[in-house]
Structure formats: structure tokens, C-alpha cells
Amino acid sequence: EPEVTQTPSHQVTQMGQEVILRCVPISNHLYFYWYRQILGQKVEFLVSFYNNEISEKSEIFDDQFSVERPDGSNFTLKIRSTKLEDSAMYFCASRPLSFTDTQYFGPGTRLTVL
Amino acid sequence: AQKITQTQPGMFVQEKEAVTLDCTYDTSDPSYGLFWYKQPSSGEMIFLIYQGSYDQQNATEGRYSLNFQKARKSANLVISASQLGDSAMYFCAMRGLEANNLFFGTGTRLTVIP
């Protein structure tokens, strides 16, 4: 069964450094998402991406964040200058076109900012 | 705006018994979808079940069923014949017609007791 994959599974970085989190969505899906989950809290929406552009973003997704689909398979989240409060689990998700379609999540990348 | 409320931070159930996890929601969208995800201690988000707001019947997927009461704006998850592997966090989420992303509740931690 196709699945969303994410790399790395765990990333440790120093405050102020740039990080890139990578995702490979399910191949026939058209909508891509990034969510984050701070330890012990609920999952929060960051950004959605469709037709090679951002379709929606939350207040969390400020100028420090960017997303890109550099080729036909990868979907990346970049944090330009990490802060301590960026430490969280970051989930990539994807879904097909229909409104009723389920979003399938990747296994997540745990980002630790020191 | 969408709002999801899960009022049970933790629940315990005896193995082989059924358990109901509560979820209420609020939205002004005329059409919406409701989802339940399971998050085991390993951290991944596993899709369990989906209910559309115009679906006439309650959704079922194996041991999972969704008790959808539209007038009360509730979408409770029922797990029958609980197994030790059901111990996890369970998140209720919704997506409105206008929004492309999922809004999550705060989750319920289910512990299955042998």
C-alpha cells in the first residue's frame, strides 16, 4: 500500500541554523500539507500546497518557513533560522483531489533545536 | 471557523470491552468531514475512520465505528473488543468545505488494561 515517507526521522540542530525537512507524498495525490505537533500538544496546521503553490497557510507559517516541490516527487519544508520553540514533530500529509478524501500522514520528523 | 473539542484527556478500558471516545465540533460550514486518527507511542498518525456530514449512515471500519449525531454536533469514536495494541492517543479532526486543512482536537489517551 502506498504511503507518505519523511526524512530524516530525527533532526537535531543549533538555534539559528537552517533545516530542510523532506517528504515524498503518495504519487497520485494532489494536495500536500505540513503540520506540526509540539510535544504533548495537538496537531497544528502549517501550510497546504496545490498545483505548485501555497493554497493556505496558518499564522504559524511566517517568513521563517517556506515550502517547495523541487521535482515530481519531493515536498520540502524549510525553516530558515530555527528557534527553540520550533522543536516539534513535523508531519507531512497528502490527499487526492476530492473533498471527501482522507489525508494520509507520514511518520513525522522530530526536530530538536538546541 | 472550525472547533473540535475532546473532553476526555485519558480513558481506561478493559481488554475485550468496548469504549467510546467523545468528540464534539463546531462549524458554520454547510458541508464538512470528520476524521479520527490514532497516534501510538511511536508517533505516527494513523487514519482510522471518516464521516461526511451528509452521509446517511454512521461510518464503520472493522472494530471502529463513528457515532455521528449531527444535531448534537458530536462524532464519537467507538472501539469494540479493545486490544492491548489499541493503547494510544486518539485525535478527532474535521475539515470544512472552505478550509483545505484539518483542525484537530487535543486528543484522548486510551489505555487498554489486560
| Cβ within 8 Å of residue B11, ≥6 positions away | B19, B21, B108, B109, B110, B111
More confident site: A5 or B97? A5
CA-based nearest distance B83→chain A, Å = 22
Q: What percent of chain A lies above the pLDDT cut of 70?
A: 98
In this prediction, residue A97 carries a pLDDT of 79
| Banded model confidence at residue A89, pLDDT cuts 50, 70, 90 | very high
CA-based nearest distance A61→chain B, Å = 14
In this prediction, residue A100 carries a pLDDT of 67
Encode pLDDT of B19-35 as tens digits.
999 999 999 888 899 99
CB A110 within 8 A of CB A11: yes
pLDDT mean over A23-33 = 93
pLDDT mean over B65-72 = 95
Phi first, then psi: give them for residue A67, nearest 5 degrees: -130, 155
The HSE-up count of residue B19 (CA atoms within 13 Å, CB side) is 22
Encode pLDDT of B76-86 as tens digits.
999 999 999 99
Q: What would the DSSP string read from start to end of B30-81? A: SSEEEEEEEE-TT---EEEEEEETT-SS--EETTEEEEEETTTTEEEEEE-S
Q: Hey, which of A40-44, A100-104, B79-83 has the most confident mean pLDDT? A: B79-83
The residues of A whose Cβ lies within 8 A of any Cβ of B are: 31, 33, 35, 41-45, 48, 50, 55-56, 58, 89, 91, 93, 99-100, 102-108, 110
Q: Quote the CA–CA distance of B27 and A93 in Å, as a whole number.
A: 23
Taking contacts as CB-CB distances below 8 angstroms, the residues of chain A near B97 are 99
Instruction: State yes or no: pLDDT of B99 exceeds 80.
Output: no
Q: Which of A28, A63, A69, A64 is nearest to A48 (CA)?
A: A69
Q: What percent of chain B lies above the pLDDT cut of 90?
A: 82
- Say which range, A14-28, A45-59, B64-78, B89-103, has the weakest mean pLDDT: B89-103
- Where b means 16+ CB within 10 Å and e means fewer, A75-85 reads bebebeebeee
Instruction: State yes or no: pLDDT of A28 exceeds 80.
Output: yes
- Best residue in B3, B100, B104 for a mutation probing chain A (most A CBs within 10 Å): B100
Q: Quote the CA–CA distance of A18 and A14 in Å, as a whole number.
A: 9
Contact B47 A91 (CB under 8 A): no
Encode pLDDT of B34-63 as tens digits.
999 999 999 999 999 999 999 889 999 999
pLDDT mean over B63-79 = 96
> Is B36 an 8 Å CB contact of chain A?
no
Taking contacts as CB-CB distances below 8 angstroms, the residues of chain A near B10 are none
